[in-house]
Amino acid sequence: MKKPKPHFDPDLMAKLDQLLHQQGEYLPLELLLAEGRLLYADYDAWREGRIERLDEQLFGDSEGCAELLSQAAAYCHALGLKPNPCDYRQWGSEDRLCFSTNQTLDGLFQTGYHKDDSHPQLDLFMDNIGNNLVNEAIAALAERNSPKARRAVDQLLKSDPLHRQLDPLLSLLEAADQLGEQLSPAQIDLLQQQIAPLARDLLKGRADDYLNPLWRRAAQSQQGQAYDPAQPQRHSSWFWEQARDWPAAKQAVEQIDAWQNWAELLIRHARASAKLRLNPEVLLDLCQLSWCFPEQIRQCLDQLDGLFLHSWHRFDDSDCNLEHSDFPAWLVLSLPGQANLLEPGQLQALQPAKGFACLVRLVQQEKHKLAADLRAELKAEHPELLRCYLAHKG
């Protein structure tokens, strides 16, 4: 009798396929970060030894996280990927870290998966001395252990001075050692244009562990600099995003005068707020984007993922004759609880699209049987929105 094929959540499969495509491997850490279950700042503190058990910092219950990681592992098995121990250690040392006292959860977190040929730089069975030294240097750079990386590179210089990875490794090692606390504009150019692409090419899924201190130094170097819409990737908020320090990224955006007047900053703020699970602020950002920059709303939602992106897909597929500027109204229709996140004063300041404020009052008051006049008002303001409202009431 044939065993039934395992059923996997389509959203989880899409997320894992994306991680495998981008990084060439699956690391449970990256899934938890992508799902908003973990902040990189907490992971970094764990690697620094400031947090003993990382599972205590997870958003949501540990059982739910264990189920998520278990499903991800099963999907990787179904794809024929090979398990690979992650073996997390304190930065710059050999002290092994424990993710959780729950052995099952700890094992799920400490086990990644990759194709046989997707990570030749991590293959411990290569018989070439030069390649083994490259592997050692790459692993040390990802562990922020510069002395160990330097020893491996020095040995590579002696044993295989023509190795194709020698120059890239020297560049990464020099950047880690020489880029100080304050980066000059030329050093920031070097980081963005050469070092970061090089690190992602060599370190794949571990690149962020190497790059994070460099992004933080760049962010601190740019702190207080005015936002230039012609160079949006030179503002500190962009560098904080790369470092995945979402509170700092959000704060850096909010320190810009009239930041809501720029689509890029609204998207950046929404992204950070979503990572911090601040749904009311995400909703306000989406409202302003939809009403002031409707052509940008899809770009923002593609980066938010989750509930808001699913709502966009339903909006896009619906038979309602609505514009992109009506997407916040669709959110209120399909997720009525969103209406309670909006204050009347906030809506007035945002200059909402036609019919939106009336729809919010209608949804809020309908449960109390006080909304008859509001239906007539909405019909006068936006007849199609009333039709969609009645269709949702069904």
Long-range contacts of 352-357 (CB under 8 A, 24+ apart): 352/287, 352/291, 352/328, 353/290, 353/291, 353/323, 353/325, 353/326, 353/328, 353/329, 354/381, 354/382, 355/326, 355/329, 355/381, 355/382, 355/385, 355/386, 356/287, 356/326, 356/328, 356/329, 356/332
Q: Residue 330's Cα: distance from chain center in Å? A: 25
Alpha carbon distance 108, 70 (integer Å): 7
Alpha carbon distance 267, 287 (integer Å): 11
Instruction: Judge contact between 308 and 330, C-beta under 8 A.
Output: no
How many CB atoms lie under 10 A from the CB of residue 125?
5
- Beta strands of 115-248 (E only): which ranges? none
Q: With 0-12 CB in 10 A as exposed, 13-18 as middle and 19+ as buried, what is 318?
A: middle
Nearest alpha-carbon partner for 325 in 375, 286, 372, 376: 286
> 128-160 burial by CB neighbour count: b if 16+ within 10 A, else e?
eebbbbbbbbbbbbbbbbeebbbebbebbeeeb
Residue 112, beta-bridge partner list: 84
pLDDT for 3: 41
Alpha carbon distance 90, 103 (integer Å): 19
- At 205, which amino acid appears? G
Q: Write the CA distances from 36 to 32, 88, 250, 314, integer angstroms.
A: 6, 20, 16, 23
pLDDT for 10: 86
DSSP H or E stretch at residue 84:
strand 82-85
Nearest alpha-carbon partner for 87 in 200, 206, 196, 198: 206
Nearest alpha-carbon partner for 361 in 345, 337, 341, 344: 344
pLDDT, tens digit (0-9, with 9 covering 90-100), for 35-56: 889 999 999 999 999 999 999 9
R_g over Cα of the chain: 25
Nearest alpha-carbon partner for 97 in 142, 54, 147, 59: 54
pLDDT for 125: 40
The dihedral region occupied by 348, where left means phi > 0, alpha psi between -120 and 50, and beta the remainder, is: alpha
- At residue 134's C-alpha, the angle toward residues 130 and 135, to 5°, is 120
User: What are the boundaries of each domain within the chain?
Assistant: 1-116, 258-393
Q: Which ranges of the chain have pLDDT less than 50? A: 1-4, 118-127
The whole model's pTM is what? 0.85
Alpha carbon distance 202, 197 (integer Å): 9
pLDDT for 121: 46
Alpha carbon distance 148, 351 (integer Å): 58
Number of H helices, E strands in the chain: 22, 3
Alpha carbon distance 303, 170 (integer Å): 34
